[in-house]
Amino acid sequence: MKKVLFTLLSACLLYSCSPKFYIPNTQNVPLLSEKGETNLTVAGNANQVEVQGAYAITNAFAMKANAGLFIPSDQDNGNGGSGKFAELGAGYFKPFESRLVFEAYGIAGIGTVENHFPSTVDNYPQTNGEISATVFRYGVQTNFGYKTKHFAAALSSRFVNLNYSNIEGNLIFNDVQQTDYLRDNRSSFLIEPAITLRGGFEKFKLQAQYGYSLNLSNSEFKQDNAFVTLGLNFNFK
């Protein structure tokens, strides 16, 4: 099993049988349409919890922010990982009379990720079975959605650079020093499409999101690719 996270919000993590250094977080898709509108979301799954917010400053310009914790349970042998991430964004939105909304945001986030694999220390007694790093992610996110009082659906995509620094620890997994592995793969370019569905009342809806992370720099990078989160979405005008 293993873990770890990311999200800025920085962030990285999750579950498996080897160390992981990135787990995509829920995309913040507010679908704003007018000045003064506020959108809030609480989302997550068994391994992560996130809060998100966005506010329309004018009829075309908005700010958004999100933060998350990635805390999957350790395996029986103590192997596991965790992460935390926070992110800010600013950008443009354009509503259309047909209830369609387009948004484009510049985003930047920072977080930390760690993996602890005590089970490896018996085979590599000169190590401590731990690795940690700082994660920085920046790029652009676009959203295109349809919304009514009781339903909303959106397609979104993140185009981001993922960078690691402050890499510390001494974890050898499958005869590979993981600090060397992460330094050799300290920068990646990701494309992350997602679909978001919401249903409920005008100011309160249930949300489900499915997303995928495609690492164009290294398709074998130790990360999670697909994710599903559920949550609650609040909208106030």
- pLDDT at position 159 is 98
> What letter represents residue 220's amino acid?
E
Q: What gap in Å lies between CA 207 and CA 92, rounded to an integer?
A: 23
Query: 141 falls in which pLDDT band (50, 70, 90)?
Result: very high
Mean pLDDT of 171-184: 97
- pLDDT at position 97 is 87
Mean pLDDT of 123-141: 97
Q: What is the pLDDT of residues 76-112, one digit of tens each?
A: 899 999 999 999 999 999 999 889 999 999 999 999 9
Copy the structure tokens of residue 229: 């989160």
Q: What gap in Å lies between CA 225 and CA 212, rounded to an integer?
A: 5
Burial of 30 (0-12, 13-18, 19+ CB in 10 A): buried
State if pTM tops 0.75: yes
Comparing CA positions, the residue from 77, 83, 92, 72 lying closest to residue 30 is 92
Q: What gap in Å lies between CA 55 and CA 99, rounded to an integer?
A: 19
SS3 34: coil
Q: Give me the domains of the chain, ranges plus CATH numbers.
A: 6-236 (2.40.128)
Copy the structure tokens of residue 55: 């506010």
The number of helices, as runs of H, and strands, as runs of E, in the chain is 1, 15
Return the half-sphere exposure (C-beta side, CA atoms, 13 A cut-off) of residue 60. 0
Q: Region of 128 please: left (phi>0), alpha (psi -120 to 50) or beta.
A: alpha
Beta-carbon contacts of residue 151 (< 8 Å; ≥ 6 apart): 198, 199, 205
Beta-carbon contacts of residue 122 (< 8 Å; ≥ 6 apart): none
% of residues, the chain, pLDDT over 70: 93
- Estimate to the nearest angstrom the gap between the alpha carbon of 132 and the chain centroid: 18
| Strands 172-173, 151-169: pairing kind | unpaired
| Strands 187-200, 151-169: pairing kind | antiparallel
Mean pLDDT of 152-163: 98
Comparing CA positions, the residue from 135, 198, 126 lying closest to residue 169 is 126
- pLDDT at position 16 is 46
Q: What gap in Å lies between CA 161 and CA 146, rounded to an integer?
A: 28
Return the half-sphere exposure (C-beta side, CA atoms, 13 A cut-off) of residue 221. 27
